[in-house]
Structure 1
Amino acid sequence: MTINSAKVRGAYIHIPFCDHICYYCDFNKVFMKNQPVDDYLDALAQEMNHYAESGPPQTIYIGGGTPTALNERQFERLFQAVRKYLFHPALKEFTVEANPENLNEAKLEIMKRYGVTRLSIGVQTFDDRLLKTIGRAHQSDDAERAVRLAQRHGFDNITVDLMFALPGQTESSLHDSMERALRLGTPHISIYSLQLEPKTIFYNRMKSGSLRLPGEDIEADMFGQIILELGRHGLHHYEISNFAKPGFEGIHNSLYWRNEEYYGIGAGAHGYVNGIRYANAGPIKKYIDSVRKNGHSRRSEHAVTFEEKMEEEMFLGLRLMKGVSTDRFNDRFGCPIETVYGDAIERLKKKGLLAEHDGRLAMTQKGIFLGNDVFEAFLIS
């Protein structure tokens, strides 16, 4: 495959199948039992081929759902298609999400054989009581065994995914989870606060008044604890929810934050190609039928306007701790950043939420805790 470096793109591939549904999850997913998995994999391969004609991706990310819920035969079929249509030797990063309860030696060997360079393991917490509360299928010891098993198979670039502000979670429990994660020695930890999304079990419980969550002050204290503790152990805070040792920052996700393009492949996947943001059909059968007919499954498209591109440059780029380059903004949009956002920038600087250093605008420590307020300031319409 010929590499065209002129266009920076990633490829996201969605596996919507799960053995169980977590109480907080709002991603496009279905119970795996009785699903047309093989037909879905055929459709994925066809859609990969469709986008491969537009040029190879620099990164690949397989997420879900639960990619490791596939059995070994299905799992290998997936990677055979990736190798045929998207993989190339100059690929910068190849990430796969994995759940502790269905990550085994056979699947790790398949991933090694097909060039996977990075694993993102969904741990969420090392508190067994909380794991049950949020509807996870594994226990803390399963998570530790999965990480150790991956390390023994030569995966040194592993992300442990954690959550905070969970129902009934205390600062002590959060500290213990971080300590166990840090003892595993992975070079990257992602840690997200619980978001209540419509059509989830937790959202319905919140609406009925039966879900007890930590208050905003406790959530802010937890976030401060996270930044302090992970920084103390050499994981630098490079994005609002992500911490890494130098050189292990997530490349694929950074494409999103840098407002680059990416193919979205699979049921319910979202993509951004040639200035158009699109969403695929979500229902499995509708996705398969659409790909068979068209080679892709776009159910909606939106041509991003010039103003929207500028907005996205700001509120995505400011998620990164290094912030937004004023020179890059000028190069991309043909005007100084102050021409468009001068008033907002000055207002945020006076509030102590934004600062400028070495040609970059970035959130201050105070701004990180009030990120939504900062992002909203750059919405023109």
Structure 2
Amino acid sequence: MIPVANQEPQGPSLYLHVPFCRSKCPYCDFYSVVGNQAQLDGYVKLLLQQLAWLNRRQVFTAPLATVFFGGGTPSLLAPRQVAAILDRIRYTAGLSANAEISLEANPGTVDAASLQGYRDAGVNRLSFGVQSLQDDALQLLGRGHSAKEAVQVVTWARQVGFENVGCDLMFGLPNQGRKELLQDLDALLQLQPDHMSCYGLTVEAGTPFEQRRLRGALALPDEDEFPELYLTVHEQLTAAGFEHYEISNYALPDRRCRHNLAYWRRQPCFAVGAGAHSFIPAGYGTRREVPADLDRYRQRLMQGRDPAVTLETFDRQGAMAETLYLGLRCQEGVSDKDFFRQFGLGVAEAFPEAVRRCGQRLTLDAGRWRFDLQGWLLFDHFISFFL
């Protein structure tokens, strides 16, 4: 049975961005800086200050259903700092009884004691940036851990009582073929994760990897090889009992990331921290961001001012397009009835030409629009018809 929207407990979400890393990976274009402990300690105080600022303006109107510490490397925060932040969240916003509280962690930045500390603080979901269990691939990616360390942290997480553990995997790596990918998948499955996020390596503008590619020093799989790798991930993980519930995400039963589902469903999400993005669904929706600038973030908060700025206030057409852009990423798809209820017309009526051009890759089944696996493989191409 394909899951439908709104099965998970309802309530707003909160994202906290921690833009500090021990080193910058050569493929990464996310906002992060290499900082020292004093900077990290000062940043935690700013996060607490922004939470208090939001509370004074009565932004939080219901207990939070999900909290997500992302980055950067949130596992550079000490457990006591995570505990202080979650205590402030409980006081200002409140947490639902079964709130999902996730923390991204890089192997090599945690040990059994810190993982126990995170669990004691209230974290109940971990997402490990494993990326690969081949040491040569990890070195190429600039990761600060070994395959052995990655295996160890997952073992520790289980030992201290975490029941919801995810691992990230990158594929389409330089010199990687199907054989090497199968080795990585087999090794990761032996760790028995509850969730896996599997991303094809993309070379982003302005990164060291782009410079290497321009010099001809980065041998990436070609366009014909990438589909085979993507389908290999799908075949292996679904055979192992994982639900392929979003283009790049797989979960065992009841282990889908509820926080990310809130993004894809355009549900309310507050955000704190430099580089964090929020979404308020009132009207046709508004997206805001805290600019990725630590000095500006500090100055605005010290002045008692809102550090966030409005990125986009959607009109009806923009909201319809984004609803499909986000919803069609997911296996649950987009309910035609919900779409009509919100916008006054169905998907085929709103985008007749786009639906026609997608052909058999996009179907309406049991009242929900969905792409098939080949549609996901060419998602950027097909979704462009709606944008």
Deviations 1:80-134 (A, max 9, x none): 4344334424353111000110112232222212221211000000010000001
- Report the secondary structure of 1:36's partner residue: helix
Q: For 1:89-104, what aligned pairs fall within 5 Å after superposition?
A: 89-104=96-111
**Counterpart selection for 2:189 from 182, 192, 195:** 182
1:112 aligns with 2:119: yes
State the alpha-carbon separation in 2 of the partners of residues 62 and 6 from structure 1.
20
Q: Is the 8 A contact 1:72 1:106 kept in 2?
A: no
For structure 1, which runs of at least 5 residues remain unmatched after alignment?
none
1:125 aligned residue (132, 153, 158): 132
User: Quick one: distance in 2 between partners of 1:34 and 1:204?
Assistant: 31
Contact 2:82 2:121 in 1 (8 A): no
- Give 2:293's aligned residue: 283
Partner SS for 1:147? helix
Matched residue, 2:31: 28
Equivalence for 1:364: 372
Give the 5 Å matches for 1:323-338. 323-338=333-348
Unaligned regions of 5+ residues in structure 2, if any? 1-7
- Give the structure 1 partner of residue 4 of structure 2: none
1:203 Cα deviation after fit: 1.8
Instruction: Please show how residues 160-175 of structure 1 align to structure 2 within 5 Å.
Output: 160-175=167-182
1:153: Cα distance to partner? Answer: 0.9
Partner residue in 2 for 1:376: 384
Q: Kindly indicate whether the alpha-carbon contact (under 8 Å) linking 2:17 and 2:70 is maintained by their aligned counterparts in 1.
A: yes
SS of residue matched to 2:224: helix
Q: Distance in 2 between matches of 1:283 and 1:82?
A: 23
Verify: 1:226 aligned to 2:233, yes or no: yes
- C-alpha contact 2:9 2:65 (8 A) present in aligned 1: no
TM-score by length of 2: 0.91
2:22 equivalent in structure 1: 19
In 2, distance between residues paired with 1:82 and 1:212?
Answer: 46
Kindly state the Cα deviation for residue 76 of structure 1 after the two structures are TM-superposed: 4.1
Question: Which range moves more in the overlay, 65-74 or 5-14?
Answer: 5-14
In the TM superposition, residue 261 of structure 1 has moved relative to its aligned partner by 2.3
In the alignment, residue 15 of structure 2 is paired with which amino acid? Y
Q: 2:250 aligns with which of 243, 250, 253?
A: 243
Contact 1:47 1:295 in 2 (8 A): no
Task: Choose 18-27 or 281-290, whichever is displaced more.
Answer: 281-290
The two structures have a TM-score, normalised by structure 1, of 0.93
Q: Does 1:45 align with 2:52?
A: no
**Map of 1:301 onto structure 2:** 311
Compute the displacement of 1:299 (Å): 4.0
Give the letter aligned to residue 201 of structure 2: L
Q: For the aligned residues, what is the CA RMSD?
A: 2.0
Q: Write the deviation string for residues 309-347 of structure 1: whole angstroms up to 9, x where unpaired.
A: 111100110000221110110111122222211222133
Q: Percent identity?
A: 32
Offset, 1:202: 0.9
Q: Which residue of 2 aligns with 1:262?
A: 269
2:59 counterpart residue number: 54
Looking at structure 2, the residues matched to 34 and 75 of structure 1 have their Cα atoms a distance apart, in angstroms, of 15
Deviates more, 1:215-224 or 1:64-73: 64-73
C-alpha spacing 1:34/1:291, structure 2 compared with 1 (3 Å): same
CA distance in 1 between counterparts of 2:92 and 2:175 reads: 46
Pairing of 1:197-236 with structure 2 (within 5 A): 197-236=204-243
